[in-house]
């Protein structure tokens, strides 16, 4: 099949715009494949690289619920606006907060979630230096 193809996509999600993207390593990995299939044009899909760090998403805390951990319900549907957070191992930065893991939580730790009916509409876990309040703005860096 490859002998009849003109091009081959090597997949998406390459965050080429990141300062620590290892271009040399990608070339090193792809060169042997290219040598075995010299007639193929290889394509790397940049994924979110075009939109990475181009803006932010501002949301509002709609409610704070404890079940079983404190959840800060925000006015945004994560799966619609930030699907990379659900589909990829991509974590947003929340201004004024630090990432909190499931096992390393403390005072003012919250799981940020969206307001859709999707059970997995979760952005992640963060620790703030203050308790979240209803009406407070959350700014998610892209």
* Residue ranges covered by each domain of the chain: 7-50, 56-141
Q: How far apart are CA 75 and CA 58, in angstroms?
A: 9
With 0-12 / 13-18 / 19 or more C-beta atoms within 10 angstroms meaning exposed / middle / buried, residue 55 is exposed
User: Looking at the predicted structure, is the pLDDT value of residue 41 above 90?
Assistant: yes
Handedness of CA 15, 16, 22, 26 (dihedral sign): positive
Can you give the pTM of this predicted structure? 0.62
If one looks up domain 56-141 in CATH, what number appears? 2.40.37.10
pLDDT tens digit string along 51-81?
A: 677 778 888 888 888 776 777 777 676 656 6
Percent of the chain whose pLDDT exceeds 70:
78
pLDDT band at 17, cuts 50/70/90? confident
Half-sphere exposure of 17 (CA within 13 A, CB side): 12
Q: What is the structure's pLDDT at 48?
A: 67
Residues 6+ apart with CB under 8 A from 104: none
User: Looking at the predicted structure, is the pLDDT value of residue 97 above 80?
Assistant: yes
Q: What is the structure's pLDDT at 15?
A: 76
């Amino acid at each position: 099949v490859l002998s009849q193809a003109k091009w081959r996509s090597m997949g998406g999600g390459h965050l080429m715009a990141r300062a620590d993207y290892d271009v040399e390593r990608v070339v090193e990995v792809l060169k042997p494949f290219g040598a075995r299939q010299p007639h193929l044009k290889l394509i790397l899909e940049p994924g979110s690289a075009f939109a990475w760090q181009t803006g932010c998403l501002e949301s509002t805390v709609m409610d704070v619920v404890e079940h079983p951990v404190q959840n800060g319900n925000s006015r945004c549907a994560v799966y619609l606006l930030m699907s990379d957070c659900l589909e990829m191992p991509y974590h947003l930065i929340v201004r004024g907060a630090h990432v909190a893991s499931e096992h390393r939580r403390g005072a003012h730790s919250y799981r940020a979630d969206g307001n859709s009916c999707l059970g997995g509409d979760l952005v992640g876990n963060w620790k703030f230096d203050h308790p979240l309040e209803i009406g407070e703005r959350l700014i998610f860096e892209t």
